[in-house]
Amino acid sequence: MDDSQPQFLEVGAGTRRRRVAYRRRGGKGPELLWLSGFLSDVASTKATAIAEWAAEQGLAMMRFDYSGHGLSGGDLLNASIGDWLEESMAVWELMGGGPRIVIGSSMGGWIALLLARHLARQGRSDELAGLVLIAPAFDMTETLMWRELPQAAKDEIAAKGVTCVPSAYADPYPITRHLIEEGRAHLLEGHPFDPGCPVRILQGMRDPDVPWRHAVALVDLLDGADVELTLIKEGDHRLSAPGDLERLTATIATLVLRAR
């Protein structure tokens, strides 16, 4: 099995049914699952670099596009954290097999934590061999979006259901009332939990999107004893420079060895 061509998975029911594109490469375990950030996809620099590294190591890897992203179906204006979590859980079930390592970037870090909490509640934490979180934007719809929006943008969401905000990386992007309101059902703040596996957090201190203190707050939120936070003094949000990618793959490699 290789990931040269995307495959598709149907997720959801009725009017919420959507076609999710994924790429999966076979290999040795533990299998890696990549979870992208908001507005990112499996063709991003980090996702591609990790996929290439995994192939060199002979490791199995799964990556997919959230609905409204990349090659997947669905409309971003109708999508939510709950949708993307549902898709992540569906992909997890598709993977099956032994313990897996989840790598989540930015919003993908939040989704990874929600997936870990879901598995813990089902008594399935043994399926997780580790979490690697890059600038994890947990609770981002509330703490990093809604609380930071100017009042004019909040008023526009109230009146029109959506506002567009400028991006340092691409064109302005939409924030919908549905994204904000549905996201409140998945907030982690104030609800500590044990993910039941080693957690490794990589966080740039020059990150304009996810402040490094946000990552420190996450360390306090996680009840598990095996949680490590690495602060990169000159690191930005993407952490996709060559040195950052080397640090990332080295972090993953350490957890791979522990899982064997």
**Model pLDDT for residues 123-179, shown as the tens digit of each residue:** 999 999 999 999 999 999 999 999 999 999 999 999 999 999 987 777 889 999 999
pLDDT, averaged across the chain: 95
Averaged pLDDT for residues 116-129: 96
- Asked if residue 68 has pLDDT above 90, the reply is yes
Catalytic annotation, residues: 106, 207, 237
Sheet of strand 100-105, all strands in order from the earlier edge strand to the far edge: 7-11, 18-25, 59-64, 28-35, 100-105, 128-134, 199-204, 227-232
> What CATH fold (topology level) applies to the domain 7-138+195-259?
Rossmann fold (3.40.50)
- Asked if residue 225 has pLDDT above 90, the reply is no
Tokens, residue 83 = 């949708």
- Asked if residue 3 has pLDDT above 80, the reply is no
Q: How much is the pLDDT for 214?
A: 98
pTM comes to 0.96
